[in-house]
Chain A
Amino acid sequence: MTPLAPAVGARSRAFTGPGPRVWTGVLSVLVVLVAWQVAGTTGLVDQRYFGTPVAVLRAGGTLVSSGELWGAAQVSLVEFAGGLLLAIVVGVPLGMLMGWRLRLRQTLEPTLLALYLTPSLALLPVLVLALGIGVTSKLAIVFVEAVITIVVNTMAGIRETDSRLVLAARSFGASQTAIFRTVLLPSALPTIVAGLRLGAGRGVIAVIVGEIYAGSGGIGQLISSYGQSFDTGPLLFITLVVAVFGYLVGLGLRVVQSAVTR
């Protein structure tokens, strides 16, 4: 066997499609869907509460073709993306500074840790009171939910940098800013992106909960109104869409993360 063989094998598998592990996963989902459908049609479970996969899909078709889903999704996307972007713009530099500068960390860390342990969704009523039921209050709750996680991770990434690398850079005459640019930042990057992933996940939940609580539109409000009218089909379909969206955002950031990790 040539030394190249394992690498070639690994590559050719990627071209032949998903491996057996993926297929077992797909199979298990299919089994659940079939069982759900059978249980619903035979009356084993009450369709009013649990729906059936077919009913959910049918409801989904209506939601999509009527444009109702897309209209709501636009509102939620703006709130989510705006809040997350703001959290990144504020959280990453703040976390970097806190990881880098001892005095700043000592000043802000207690507050930060307190906020980290606070269920910030509990602040929702206050935010809605202050900012209204429009886009702004949801954008704010996404920001609050995401920013703390992003700051904490960014700070940890900077602080976990191997001190021996910093010493080596100092030995070669590096200034503080050069150390930051050439050692601390590249070393922390994977952890920073991991923080963005966690923050984005929290942001998805925050925007939905925010809209359910006080929405003038958006996916959360759709969930809320279909929920109140016991319309299980659309409700479950929308929930599924949110889950898929959250999964895709996570997946995208995971790709970024592995790209910046060596």
Chain B
Amino acid sequence: MTDKQISFDGVRIAYPGKDKPFVAVDDFTADIAPGEFVTIVGASGCGKSSVLLAADGLLATAGGAIRISGTPVRRPGPDRAMVFQDASLLPWRSVLSNVAFGLELQGVGKAERLARAQRYVELVGLDGREQSRPHELSGGMRQRVGIARALAMDPAVLLMDEPFGALDAQTRELMAGELLRIWDTDRKTVLFVTHGIDEAIFLADPVLVMSGNPSRVTEVIDVDLPRPRDEAVRAGADFTHYRAHLAKLLFAGTPATVAAS
């Protein structure tokens, strides 16, 4: 065990191009301590989701190394669990069965995985909806199922790929608060990708800002706001300060006409 839960060391991510590979991310370097809640922000298409997929082992890197607790990432493993933007629930399965899905794939016996799934269904506040199908749930509820499914794996690292990106603004703020409440119960290491400035600050210990072409971490903002955080934090002067700073960074590379609109 090192003091670094996740380390990104000069990570390079490239996609096949017409003539030569298109390098989306280059020299992405960051160290994340156990129990830290890290958000990654950047413009759409800057490769922030790719970094997350690479950390999960779903996407091969073209250079550099990603280590989880010192072990290089080669493929997905039970030490990491991902929450996807669209929740990616199996539509033909019940809520409970979806939450147990990861455990099932890990070979956990039926009785035990259902019991564990039940606990996490309750943790995310969906008790009573165990037998519902995903299409019977709201977007926010589906995402709660996605979070429960990931947490049920009891991973060391929770990877979240714009999990609230498809939700309306109000639900989104509500879910961010809920996520912090859940996270407070066992403070896993979280890597949370978003393009929402408010969300990035509200959740994070450090915010990693990605920009450039190819992109990399261009700034790390340490958010020094007391935890546990509630909605009142958003109204504070410190929050406003962080917000203005982050907005300036993100719009720095944008043409003035766009930034002004």
Q: CB within 8 Å of B: which residues of A?
A: 162, 164-165, 167-174, 178, 182-183, 186-187, 262
Chain A nearest Cβ from B81, distance in angstroms:
7
Scoring B residues 90 to 134 as 1 if CB is less than 8 Å from chain A, else 0, what string do you get? 111000000001101110000000000000000000000000010
CB-contact partner of B88 in A167, A173, A178, A262, under 8 A:
A167
Given known contacts A164-B86, A167-B58, A183-B90, is B106 in contact with A173 (CB within 8 Å)? yes
Does B153 make an interface contact (CB < 8 A)?
A: yes
B101 / chain A contacts, CB cutoff of 8 Å: 169, 172, 182
> How long is the Cα–Cα vector from A85 to B80 in the complex, in angstroms?
45
> How long is the Cα–Cα vector from A110 to B91 in the complex, in angstroms?
33
A168 adjacent to B84 (CB under 8 Å): yes
Chain B, range 134-177, C-beta contacts under 8 Å to A: 135, 153
Main secondary structure of the interface of A (DSSP, over half): helix
> How long is the Cα–Cα vector from A170 to B84 in the complex, in angstroms?
12
Main secondary structure of the interface of B (DSSP, over half): loop
B106 adjacent to A172 (CB under 8 Å): yes
CB-contact partner of A170 in B76, B78, B133, B153, under 8 A:
B76
CB-contact partner of A165 in B78, B81, B90, B153, under 8 A:
B90
Chain A nearest Cβ from B28, distance in angstroms:
20
A262 adjacent to B91 (CB under 8 Å): yes
> How long is the Cα–Cα vector from A165 to B106 in the complex, in angstroms?
17
A164 adjacent to B84 (CB under 8 Å): yes
Listed from nearest, the 3 A-B pairs whose CB atoms lie closest are A172-B102, A168-B88, A171-B82
Scoring B residues 1 to 29 as 1 if CB is less than 8 Å from chain A, else 0, what string do you get? 00000000000000000000000000000
B104 / chain A contacts, CB cutoff of 8 Å: 182
Of A168, A173, A182, A262, most B-chain CB atoms within 10 Å: A168
B58 / chain A contacts, CB cutoff of 8 Å: 167, 170-171
Given known contacts A186-B92, A262-B92, is B84 in contact with A169 (CB within 8 Å)? no
Chain A nearest Cβ from B156, distance in angstroms:
14
B82 adjacent to A168 (CB under 8 Å): yes
Does B56 make an interface contact (CB < 8 A)?
A: yes
A168 / chain B contacts, CB cutoff of 8 Å: 82, 84, 88
Chain A nearest Cβ from B83, distance in angstroms:
10
A186 adjacent to B90 (CB under 8 Å): yes
B63 / chain A contacts, CB cutoff of 8 Å: none
B76 adjacent to A173 (CB under 8 Å): yes
A162 / chain B contacts, CB cutoff of 8 Å: 88
Given known contacts A169-B105, A172-B153, is B90 in contact with A182 (CB within 8 Å)? yes
> How long is the Cα–Cα vector from A170 to B102 in the complex, in angstroms?
10
A187 / chain B contacts, CB cutoff of 8 Å: 92
B92 adjacent to A171 (CB under 8 Å): no
Does B77 make an interface contact (CB < 8 A)?
A: yes
> How long is the Cα–Cα vector from A164 to B134 in the complex, in angstroms?
15
Nearest CB in chain B to that of A179: its residue? B105
> How long is the Cα–Cα vector from A44 to B21 in the complex, in angstroms?
78
B81 / chain A contacts, CB cutoff of 8 Å: 171-172
Nearest CB in chain A to that of B75: its residue? A173
A262 adjacent to B133 (CB under 8 Å): yes
A171 / chain B contacts, CB cutoff of 8 Å: 56, 58, 76, 81-82, 84
A174 adjacent to B90 (CB under 8 Å): no
A165 / chain B contacts, CB cutoff of 8 Å: 88, 90
Chain A nearest Cβ from B103, distance in angstroms:
9
